[in-house]
Amino acid sequence: MEQPSFLAYRNYRYLKITGLVITAALIAYLLARPAGGAAYGGTIFGYALGIASALIVLVLTWYGIRKRRPPKVPERREADRRKFADTDATRCQSNRRVINAEESWRHGTTLQGWLSMHVYLGIALVVLTSLHAGFRVGWNIHTLAYVLVLLVCLSGLYGTYAYLRYPRLITENIGEESLDDLLLKISEADELATHRATDLPSEVKTLVSRACRDTRLGGKFIQQISGRQHDCPTKLAVERLRELGKELVDGDQPRLIRDLYTVLLQKQRLVDMVRKEISLNARMRFWLYLHAPLSIALLAALLAHILTILIYW
Amino acid sequence: MANQSSTEGIRIAIVGAGPGGLSAALRAAELGISHVLIEAAPNIANTIRRYQKGKLVMSEPRQLPLRSSLSFTSGIREDLLRTWQQELADRDINLLTGDPVTNIQRQHDGFLISLSSGHHLTTECVVLAIGLQGNVRKLGVPGETLPNVQYQLDDPDEYRSETIAVIGGGDAGVENALALTGHNRVILLNRQEEFTTCSEANFQRLRDAIKAGGIETQVNTSVVRVEAITGSDAPLSLVVQSPQGMERIECHRIIARLGATPPRRMLEGFGIRFPSDDRAAVPQLSERYESNVPGLYIIGALAGYPLIKQALNQGYEVIEYIQGNPVEPADQGLLLAKFLRIPDLPTVTEGIDLLRANLPLFAPLTTLQLREFMLDSEVLTPPSGEVIFRRNDYGNSFFSLLRGAVEIHIEGQDGKKVIIKLAQGDFFGEIGLLSGRRRSATVVAGNECVLVETPRRSMLKLLDAVPGVQRKLDEVALRRVIRGCLGASLAESEVAHLVQAAKSRQFAVGEVIFNEGDESDALYMIRKGSVTVSRKSNDKEVVAAYISAGNYFGEMGLISKTPRTATVRAAAPTEVILLEAERFNAVLDQNPSVRREVTSRYLEGVRSKEASTSGKNSGLIQFLMDQGVGEATDVLLIDYSKCIRCDNCETACAELHDGTSRFSRRAGQTYEQIHVPASCRHCEHPRCMKDCPPDAIHRSINGEVYITDACIGCGNCQSNCPYGVIQMAEKTQFQRPSLLHLIFGMKIKHLPQNPLASEGKKAVKCDMCRDIIGGSACVRACPTGAAFRVNPEDFLTMLDK
Ligand SMILES: Cc1cc2nc3c(=O)[nH]c(=O)nc-3n(C[C@H](O)[C@H](O)[C@H](O)COP(=O)(O)OP(=O)(O)OC[C@H]3O[C@@H](n4cnc5c(N)ncnc54)[C@H](O)[C@@H]3O)c2cc1C
Ligand code: HEM
Ligand code: HEM
Ligand code: SF4
Ligand code: SF4
């Protein structure tokens, strides 16, 4: 019952379109390739490719606007068709009614369709701009635009990979729990551990209080991504407690240690889960913070490129 | 107002100072009739006083004119109470507060009324207007009346250092539990898994209290019995059934807050008869609101009229009736407007007579019931040839043929078309009403036909109120279901032969209808609900098929005369009709074509079952059934292996629906990678509809269950929905994220939300974007295609993919 991914949208419709676009561009390039690598961008095909690229960039950027503008269809329909509206008996034939992305396409677009198009056209863009530039680079505004295209597309490619990979891992890690619940449980475990450590030697108390205080869950970007903490105090406490268990054998101590150990072990499991959740989420999302600003920078560079061309050509 | 206790020789005693009682007392005072108004609570209008603070009280039904000496317009609760207080202040109303009526007995020419204070009154007649809020629901288990088992909490500070079990996860229970923390050990028991019936604010506070260790909770727990124990510090032992098994909780006090039931038993004690055992049944009344006890009148919510305006009108009218003044009921005009649509029908009386004469199904109704029936219904006069409804439309209104004829076009399961003619006095649409599913046939109007279309809720109310209607409807419906299942070509006599021995049985979710290996003794037809078919393979039960209402099962064993090869369980609350094997086989013997058809379906069944017994999905099916997909018509699922948790679906929903998302992506359960968010299932039998006072919840012909603007914000639907998907929300201006947010790809956590012109909180839920071209915004706004909608018939096919 898992759904097809956005890459497969409508039976790979946009992959097919992209294939055609790239083939057309290659043919155009081969036909018009100026001997000796002269400025290709200036030829008629060069212009065409440039303009096509710019249009694609606009369409791709539009995705960001479209995404934040939910399927706003201004016309609302008459929700209840009039009782005796029409007499033809054709409408009652379809027995099935699955409202899914497929069906609603006929009436309004789905964001899934837009993303599928976005990804494939983005890939086509790499080819198109490369051909348009005639593979010439230099320290100039033109190349800046080109490099930005490459960067945006690279981050986009990573994003596609991330979107295909991480959601599943996130569910597998955290299942039905929520981050808030886990944090709550961790703070409960902290309380319980502190409580259980009260009658134990001060070394244990220090271990526990450090585990409560210094265990880091999120942190800076790199720490979030890594999902680890060097010398994690909870982990240290667990390990140290295991050793201490052999040493502290007087009276009630073995039982107290065992109780405490169970709590800390539990906490360690929770901490690992939270860190993994944070890490997976960070990996799934961080690229967008490059992708979106860079695409705006690209827009600016593109504008500059075109202006330069218009002024100096 | 004057509080007075010398009350001998009174003409009218009015019990209950809600809108109904107040209006009656005021009218009696205006007419100078000796009366007394008795109220249990210390103050008047106790029900309204208990609404949440600042609640907007709505004056539904809008079209109904107000006829009362009390004024009433939509407004804030406090204003309404103040106005009433002022209007009553300088009137000569004989009010007795703080003294509940405990008994009413008929005596010679009048009544003897006993009050809880021990006082007695005698009067000539009684108007009962005690509403439905009065009787607190008891635990309903042995020990429910032991000392220290209580059903309300007046002063939480009264109790110190006790162990107190609070039962009930609604607002009342949660609020009580919170009030008791600090000085006591509080254990809160909830029958459900989650505290979905309490308000968001209470839930937050509860969460904080649980976190702080102030309250312990036990969920999924039901009470089995309460025992008194001696010699222990705690005098009570509460035996509960929890997921861990039977448990015992020792405590000092039990506070149960389980809502209220109609004060039925008390009324029966007064000699008032109820037409059926159903919880929702209301007493049968004459058109002057007189009950079967002469001189005892019933008005307002207790009489089955759940809105304030109705209670006010009836309070006025009942006094006039008692005085013998022939006033027209306030709704006369509305009723006449309906009847005027019928050619040559100038008066309401004639209209009611026509109903009685031409619709034998409704002959047992009293005039009052017929009036109500008609007020809820519409008169339709479609020209000949027009389609009234189509096969596969959703719809659960019920149609009666007042005049003329209609044609029913049935498509048999063999694809053959059959036309059945119905004439005056017949009815149709009962299958949709009973099964909650799509229409099974197309109905076309004949010559000069006059139809009465009655909404589902009114029909169900009638079925409860008048057992005769239920029986008649059942009989005809049964015959039609048999026809529908086995083909329309069966002769009437054969159908009748089958009907004679047909039995109807009810099953709860998960209950076994028959087991693999059982003897095959009957054919089952599903009238309501749905079932799953499963088989054992390697000691595991594997779900192989899902069968919905309007279909039959169990035919395999009958044809091959072998024991059952599969286990069948109810996937939703289900009603099936059993046809005995012998009769069934006899009928098949005489109808080779029907036999052929049944056999061919049987063979197909065998094949499809072999195919799907691979069983890798049976866990998922079970999970989805547990989530109510079995009784759903259309449910939102999310494939979590694709979901990037962007909540774009919710944002889109909120933007299109007055600022509040109608579902919660996070809430809800997950099985492997399939997530069922907390979102409306558009149930076949929506339980949310049941107690909606203004009847604001409907199902459209496309299947969506939606709430109209008539909602008065009472919260009944919220507590009745088993899936916790209804919220009470205000309309807010949804603010779109700005361009800056867009450029930097930032996520907006909290948008300031401005409530629109205060319409008050109303119930909101998913309406499947019914009025938006393109359909469900959630699905369309999902960038990765993770969100999708299914109905249970399709999801098995999807599973195989
Ligand atoms: C939360 C909520 C919101 C609602 N919102 C609206 C709304 O916005 N608009 C609307 O039209 N309707 C609304 N209703 C419905 C409305 O409250 C009722 O229709 C109306 O109150 C019924 O009036 P009544 O006179 O029949 O009974 P009630 O108002 O229930 O009055 C009955 C009175 O009888 C007293 N009583 C009970 N037992 C005894 C006894 N044994 N002896 C003496 N006295 C007794 C009670 O204390 C009470 O004061 C709402 C209901 C609820 C629960
Ligand atoms: C995404 C869009 C675009 C990118 C990334 C891009 C990039 C480039 C690059 C890298 C060059 C080579 C510069 C050099 O010779 O050093 C180039 C040349 C050129 N581009 Fe574009 N370009 C884009 C769009 C356009 C558009 C829309 C136009 C026309 C309006 C255009 C017109 C030209 C012309 C005329 C040249 C030749 C200049 C030369 O030979 O020096 N380009 N472009
Ligand atoms: C010049 C090329 C591109 C531009 C201008 C561009 C622009 C954008 C913009 C503006 C967004 C919206 C960000 C947001 O809403 O948060 C976006 C999202 C995205 N882009 Fe691109 N993009 C380009 C190329 C690509 C390529 C080549 C890929 C993939 C191969 C890609 C994959 C994505 C993905 C997966 C998203 C996220 C969708 C989401 O979270 O809803 N993009 N892009
Ligand atoms: S609101 Fe609840 S009861 Fe009503 S249709 Fe939806 S899921 Fe069913
Ligand atoms: S829109 Fe789609 S991806 Fe985003 S949260 Fe909703 S289901 Fe998940």
pLDDT of residue B117: 84
Cα dihedral across residues B95, B97, B99, B102: positive or negative: positive
Same domain for A293 and A254, yes or no, is no
Atom of ligand 4 nearest to the CA of B724: 2
Q: Is the pLDDT of residue A89 over 60?
A: no
- Contact A167/B at CB under 8 A: yes
ipTM: 0.89
Q: Which residue of A has its CA nearest to B453?
A: A83
Chain A residues close to B653, C-beta within 8 Å: 70
Tell which residue, B259, B262, B38, has the closest CA to residue B132: B262
Q: How confident is the model at residue B465, as a pLDDT?
A: 76
Q: What is the pLDDT of residue A52?
A: 92
Evaluate whether residue A165 is within a structural domain. Answer: yes
| CA–CA distance, A267 with A260 (Å, rounded to integer) | 11
Q: Is B340 exposed, middle or buried (0-12, 13-18, 19+ CB in 10 A)?
A: middle
Domain assignment of residue A165, given as a range: 6-176+287-312
Please return the burial class of B540, using the count of CB atoms within 10 Å of its CB with bins 0-12, 13-18 and 19+. Answer: exposed
A187 in the same domain as A160: no
pLDDT, mean over chain A: 82
- pLDDT confidence of residue A90: 28
Nearest chain A residue to B415, by CA: A93
Q: B 409-448 residues with CB below 8 A of A?
A: 409, 442
Q: For a substitution probing ligand 4, which of B624, B679, B688 has the most ligand atoms within 8 Å of its CB? A: B688
Residue spans of the domains in chain B: they are 10-135+261-329, 149-256, 334-465, 492-615, 628-799
Contact assessment for residue B401 and residue B454, using Cβ atoms and an 8 Å cutoff:
no
In the predicted model, what is the mean pLDDT of residues B276-286? 79
Q: For residues A216 and A305, state if they share a domain.
A: no
B352 min Cα distance to partner chain A (Å): 25
Which residue out of B644, B662, B664 would a mutagenesis test of the A interface target, given it has the greatest number of A Cβ atoms within 10 Å? B644
In eight-state DSSP terms, residue B328 is P
Answer yes or no: same fold for B334-465 and B492-615.
yes
Asked if A2 has any chain B CB less than 8 Å from its own CB, the reply is yes
pLDDT at B154: 64
Strand pairing category for B522-528 and B552-553: antiparallel
Choice from B682, B700, B706, B770 to test ligand 4 binding pocket (greatest atom count within 8 A of CB): B682
CATH architecture, domain B149-256: 3-Layer(bba) Sandwich (3.50)
Secondary structure (DSSP) of A182-233: HHHHHHHHHHHHHHHHTTS-HHHHHHHHHHHHH--SS-SHHHHHHT--TT-H
Residues of B (527-556) whose Cβ lies below 8 Å from A: none
Task: Select the highest-mean-pLDDT range: A139-143, A155-159, B47-51, B354-358.
Answer: A155-159
CA B8 to CA B94: how far, in whole Å?
A: 12
- Distance between A172 CA and the closest CA of chain B, angstroms: 8
- State the pLDDT at residue B604: 58
Residues A261 and A137 in one domain: no
* Rg (chain A; Cα; Å): 29
User: Is B2 strand, coil or helix?
Assistant: strand
B741 touches chain A (CB under 8 A): yes
**Calpha distance B548→B729 (Å, rounded):** 34
pLDDT in tens, B332-368: 989 999 999 888 888 898 999 999 999 989 888 888 8
Are B211 and A184 in contact (CB < 8 Å)? yes
Q: Is B159 on the interface with A (CB under 8 A)?
A: no
Instruction: Report the 10 Å Cβ neighbour count for A95.
Output: 10
Q: What is the mean pLDDT of residues B602-616?
A: 52
Cα–Cα distance, B739 to A154 (Å, whole number):
24
Average pLDDT over residues B399-420: 82
Question: B651: Cβ below 6 Å to ligand 5?
Answer: no
Preceding omega of B61 cis (within 30 degrees of 0): yes
pLDDT band at residue B419 using 50, 70 and 90 as cut-offs: confident
* More confident call, B711 vs B591: B711
pLDDT of residue B746: 53
Looking at the fold, whether A139 and A202 belong to one and the same domain comes out as no
Which residues of B are less than 8 Å from A75 in CB distance?
773
**Residue of A63, A302, A305 to mutate, ligand 3, most atoms within 8 A of C-beta:** A63
Give the model's confidence band at A128: pLDDT under 50 very low, under 70 low, under 90 confident, else very high.
Answer: very high
Are residues A215 and A171 located together in one domain of the fold?
Answer: no
Residues A203 and A73 in one domain: no
Please report the residues numbered 290 through 329 in chain B whose beta carbons come closer than 8 angstroms to any beta carbon of chain A: none
Q: Are the CB atoms for A260 and A200 separated by under 8 Å? A: yes
Mean pLDDT of B680-709: 88
Q: Which helix (H) or strand (E) holds B739?
A: helix B739-743
pLDDT of residue B740: 62
Q: Are residues A142 and A34 located together in one domain of the fold?
A: yes
Question: A167 vs B386: CB contact, 8 Å cut-off?
Answer: no
| Residue A121 shares a structural domain with residue A159 | yes
Q: For A15-49, how does the pLDDT look when each residue is reduced to its tens digit (9 = 90+)?
A: 999 999 999 988 888 877 654 355 565 678 888 88
B658-681: b or e for each residue (b if 16 or more CB lie within 10 Å)?
Answer: bbbbbbebeebbbbbbbbbbbbbb
Q: Tens of pLDDT along A158-201?
A: 999 999 999 999 999 998 888 888 888 898 889 889 988 888 88
Q: Tokens 């201004």 identify what position?
A: A74
Phi and psi, residue B637, nearest 5°: -120, 155
Q: Which backbone phi and psi does B182 adopt, to 5 degrees?
A: 100, -55
**Position B54, amino acid:** G
User: Which pLDDT score is estimated for B437?
Assistant: 80
Domains contained in chain A, number: 2
Domain assignment present for residue A1? The answer is no
| B509 or B127, which is more confident | B127
CB A235 within 8 A of CB A268: yes
pLDDT value at residue A149: 97
A135 and A23 in a common domain: yes
Inform me whether the pLDDT recorded for B261 exceeds 80: no
pLDDT of residue B111: 94
CATH-assigned architecture of domain B10-135+261-329: 3-Layer(bba) Sandwich (3.50)
Q: Which ligand is nearest to the CA of B634?
A: 4
Mean pLDDT, residues B22-27: 96
Residue nearest to atom 2 of ligand 1 (CA): B714
Residue A145 has pLDDT above 90, yes or no: yes
The reply to whether ligand 4 has any atom less than 6 angstroms from the CB of B723 is yes
Q: How much is the pLDDT for B440?
A: 81
pLDDT digits (tens, 9 = 90+) for B610-667: 445 455 677 788 888 888 888 888 999 999 999 999 999 998 888 888 888 999 998 8
Q: For residue B416, what are the contacts with CB-CB under 8 A and spacing of at least 6?
A: B488, B489
The residues, ordered by sequence, that sit 6+ positions from A255 with a Cβ below 8 Å of its Cβ are none
| A62 and A144 fall within a common domain | yes
Q: Which atom of ligand 1 is nearest to the CA of B299?
A: 26
- CB distance from A292 to chain B under 8 Å? yes
- Is the CB of A55 inside a 6 Å radius of any atom of ligand 2? no
Beta bridge partners of B546: B532
User: What is the CA(B768)–ligand 3 centre distance, in A?
Assistant: 29
Residue matched to tokens 């009344």: B285
Q: State whether residue B472 sits within 8 Å of chain A by CB.
A: no
What's the rounded Cα separation, in Å, for the pair B419 and B489? 11
What's the mean per-residue pLDDT of chain B?
Answer: 84
Look at residue A108 in the predicted model and tell me its pLDDT: 59
What residue's CA is closest to ligand 4, atom 2?
Answer: B721
Cβ distance B779 to A100 less than 8 Å, yes or no, reads yes
**Position with higher pLDDT, B341 vs B436:** B341
| Closest by CA position to B405, among listed B387, B426, B388 | B426
Tokens 């955290």 correspond to what residue?
Answer: A174
**Could you tell me the distance, in angstroms and rounded to a whole number, from the CA of residue B743 to the centre of ligand 4?**
39
Closest Cβ–Cβ partner in B442, B669, B773 for A108: B773
Above 50 in pLDDT, residue B609?
Answer: no
Query: Which region holds residue B452: left if phi is over 0, alpha if psi is between -120 and 50, else beta?
Result: beta
For B333, the enclosing helix (H) or strand (E) is helix B332-339
- The pLDDT assigned to B30 comes to 93
Range from A156-165, A231-240, B1-10 carrying the lowest mean pLDDT? B1-10
**Domain B492-615 architecture:** Sandwich (2.60)
Choosing from B683, B762, B764, B768 the residue with most ligand 4 atoms within 8 A of its CB, the one to mutate for a pocket test is B683
- The arithmetic mean of pLDDT across residues B371-399, rounded, is 88
User: Is residue B479 scored above 90 in pLDDT?
Assistant: no
Answer yes or no: do A297 and A159 share one domain: yes
- Angle between helix axes B456-465 and B467-486 (nearest 10 degrees) is 120
Residue with the larger pLDDT of the pair B474 and B601? B474
B760 lines ligand 1 (CB under 6 A): no
In the block, residue with structure tokens 């919840």? B697
Distance CA B116, CA A205 (A): 63
Q: What is the dihedral of CA A158, A160, A165, A170, to 10 degrees?
A: 90
Nearest chain B residue (CA) to A169:
B641
Instruction: Give B777's contacts in chain A (Cβ within 8 Å).
Output: 70-71
Q: What's the gap between Cα B451 and its chain centre?
A: 26
Give the nearest partner residue to A84 out of B382, B393, B801, using CB atoms: B382
Q: What is the pLDDT of residue B558?
A: 77
Residue A110 three-state SS: coil
Contacts of A189 in chain B (CB under 8 A): none
Q: Which atom of ligand 2 is nearest to the CA of A134?
A: 12
**What's the rounded Cα separation, in Å, for the pair A58 and A80?**
39
| pLDDT given at position A104 | 41
- Choose the closest CB to A112 out of B380, B637, B784: B784
B669 shares contact with chain A (CB less than 8 Å): yes
Question: Would you identify the CATH topology of the domain B334-465?
Answer: Jelly Rolls (2.60.120)
Task: Quote the pLDDT of residue B451.
Answer: 93
Q: Does pLDDT of B88 surpass 60?
A: yes
